[in-house]
Amino acid sequence: MRILIFEDDDSTRELLDTFLMSKGYEVLSFSSPVTCKLLTQKKCKCPRQNACADAIITDMNMPGMSGLELVRFQMDSACHTPPQNKAVMSAALTPEQEQEFRKLGCRCFHKPFKLKDLLEWVRSCESNIPEGRALEPIEEIWKSAASQQTT
């Protein structure tokens, strides 16, 4: 299972990256959606032949693009990742923002949150992966994306 993480705080991004990789997940992490060339060069326009990720975790407040803008962009671009496999993290979501994320089908994690809760959600995402899905080869992702991985 592949997870994309968008988090501008280096220590939080590294913690999530290391934790999820230690649980056996393939993780690609970025400091902001605008550091991912898949997004900035509009190469994220699906339908790609294969999915880029099985789950996406994003911070709400990042430079260049908010987590809400990212999820909306993905919805408009026919993203292959199921909405219920997308989560936003924030210490300060407004009730309206939280309601919109839920309306879009996404999970909200209020910082600080427990890693065991995040892991439980990630494990639940596995059951939402469409049968027969294929992931884009990681080499293709890195050809299209900026080298911002924290590992």
Q: Helix, strand, coil shares of the chain as percentages rounded to 5?
A: 40, 15, 40
Report the percentage of the chain scoring pLDDT > 70: 81
pLDDT at 149 exceeding the cut of 50: no
Long-range contacts of range 107-115, CB-CB < 8 Å, 24 or more positions apart? 113/89, 115/19
Q: Which one has a higher pLDDT value, 9 or 74?
A: 9
Question: Rounded to an integer, what distance in angstroms lies between the CA atom of residue 27 and that of residue 9?
Answer: 16
Cis-peptide, bond into residue 47, ω within 30° of zero: yes
pLDDT, tens only, 58-104: 999 988 888 998 888 888 877 888 899 999 999 999 999 999 999 99
Tokens of 53: 């990720």
Alpha helices in the chain (DSSP H): 10-22, 37-40, 67-76, 95-103, 115-125, 138-144
